[in-house]
Each structure stands twice: as C-alpha cells, then as structure tokens.
Amino acid sequence: MFFCRKAISPPMNTERKIIHIDMDAFYASVEQRDHPELKGKPIAVGHAEKRGVVAAASYEARKFGVRSAMSSQKAKKLCPQLIFVEGRMEVYKSVSAQIHEIFHEYTDLIEPISLDEAFLDVTHNKKGIPLAVDIAREIKQRIRQDLHLIASAGVSYNKFLAKIASDYRKPDGLCTIHPDQAEEFIRHLPIEAFWGVGPITAKKMHTLGIYNGDTLRQCSLEMLQRQFGKNGLIYFNFARGIDDRPVEAVRIRKSIGCEHTLEKDLSAEMALIIELYHVARELIERLKAKDFKGNTLTLKVKFDDFSQITRSVSVKHPLQRLEEILPLAKRLLKGVDHSQHAIRLLGLSVSNPPEEKEGDTAHTSGPIQLELEFKEE
C-alpha cells in the first residue's frame, strides 16, 4: 500500500450555479417515442449482424446487462428478445436542437458535451430564478411535456459535481450537491465514479491504497503528480470539490479523429499496417477539411474481446501530412501487444492544438522529440 500525506486545501469557489442535463437512454428513447410499438420492450440502436455493435440500449434492455459499445452477438445472448433498430442520426440531432431551444430560454451559457448532454451556467439566468434546482426541475418538465422524453439533472457549484449528481439518481433523476454537502459526498464517492478515472487509472489507484474520495484527499499534490502527471492536480482538486473550469458556450475543437471497425479481426502485422494506412488517409482528409492542426497523435485499438487501449505521441510541430502521421502511427502500433487478442478496430486522432500549449515556442527543424504516454478513454 502507498501511504499518502495530508495536504492543505486551496480555496473553493462556491458562488456559481451549474446544471448538468443528461438525456436518459437518448437514442433508444427517441425510437420508442416515435414507434409506440417499441415502448416497454428491450431495444438496441445499432446493427444486429455478426460484427455489429450496440450504439444505445433502452432501460428494458439494460436490465439484461445490455450496454452501449457491446457486440451485437453478446447483447443477443444476454437478451434473446432484444429488438435492433437502425440508428437515425439526423433525427437525434434535430431532437437535440429542440432540447437546446429549451435551454436557451434560461441561459445562453450552454456547453454541449454530446447530443444528449450539456452543462448550463444559470448563475445569472434570463428568468431571474434564484434556485438552480428550480430551473433544472422546469427544464426536465419542459422536455417531458414538449418532447415526451426523460432527462436527468445534476445541480451544484461546479461541473465536476454537477456531472456526478446527474448520474446519481438515473433515470429521471434530480440531485443537488450543495457546497456544505460536497465534502461528505465526495468522501464516500468510489474512485471509479470520479470524472476522468477509467479502469486502468482506477486499478493503479487501488494499488496505491486509493479507493474513494476520502483516501484520495489524504494524498499530497506531489504524490499525485508523481504518479499521474498533469492529471494529479485535477484529482487533487476534485477530492476537495474544486473545479473552476467555466461553462464554455463556444467549445473550441480540441481533436479530430476517425476509426475503422475491421471487416474481420486481424493479428498479422502487414494486414494491420494496410488498415492503419487507410485510417491515416481518412484522418488527413478530415484535418484538411477542418483546417485543424495538433501536436499529439493518438492510436486507439479495440481487441476482439472489446477491451481497448490508446497510445499517444507528442511532437514539436503540428501534424498535418501523411508522411508525418503514418510513421508515428506505425510506431505506436508496434508498441501494442496483440499476441493474445486479435484487433477488431483501429482509430487515429490528432489533438493538442498549438495555441493551447503554454509557453509555445517557435518550432525547430531538429529531430522530432517523442513523448510516449498511456491514455484512457
């Protein structure tokens, strides 16, 4: 066990009123709403064929253990009566826009995270409603009445706690974490529930004797930064209920990527490199279309057992050309052990735009310096 030292807590900003809205089983709920014959039945949005994947599952399907990103074959074994429905992304985007119209009646400080979730800063709202929980309750009611869909809401003084709160009482939940409740709430929160802590990080934390907010809070900033790099400060602050990130009404694109599910699981190196080439070509086209530049390349690999890993490499100059990206991608792939499990999906993304780098200096013409690191989703 790793013994942690107690650290002094920095000051905490508790003046803001932040809401996190998360639509419950969004894609599946839209399908059940638009097709009444599907109501009350276990459905999955996705493809039923052999290499299909569940994009979303209704709560009726979740009772059988069906989850998003699960293979269709496994989902059907868990729930033989599962009904597969073809996804309709344009419809989901349209419904999401309708939800945002409701949000805008209360505030324009809206940060979309995906089609089915967003943060709202209602500290100074259009209707002058003093309590954020009343706004959250109204928004939930409007979504139910106008769109016949269900949303969960979390309310607190920062994004971290609002997000945790929205997950706390799903589905159709409404949970508020007040500043005077935060310390006790976080103390009992399992480390797996912390935002940004995936399975690999959670496993590492367990080896260090960190299992919940209480044991995390006992760790010094120095220890956390030594073990988790720049994320150490984030975990240190989260354990103390601190998250000063603003709700960004205009989200700056921070990455561009693409991924390919292979026609069959592969383990032969040459076949994987050919597939990687095609992914890299598509990535280049997307970078050009969006005029995006970034200094970090990330490889995503999903294996035949649906476990997945990512590998990243950072360079001193923006990545835009195939002759730069493909060799780096090959190097990352070479570091992936696929001897035990074949690969079913390959993905590449470019992130870390130059303007985001603090103290960014002129790019040198010297050799590329690599900084390899493991990352989780």
Catalytic one of 60, 111, 117, 275: 117
Is 259 one of the annotated active-site residues of the chain? no
Length of the chain (residues): 377
Return all residues near 266 (Cβ < 8 A) that are at least 6 apart.
272, 275, 342, 343
Of 282, 280, 262, the C-alpha closest to 338 is 262
Find the helix or strand (DSSP H, E) in which 238 lies. helix 231-238
Rounded to 10 deg, the angle between the 26-34 and 89-104 helix axes is: 100
d(CA 111, CA 93): 16
Within 10 angstroms of residue 74's Cβ, the number of other Cβ atoms is 15
How much of the chain is helix, strand and coil, in % rounded to 5?
Answer: 40, 25, 40
d(CA 156, CA 242): 11
Q: Find the angle CA(48)-CA(53)-CA(56) to the nearest 5 degrees.
A: 95
Distances (CA, A) of 228 to 59, 313, 363: 35, 17, 28
- Which active-site residues does the annotation give? 117
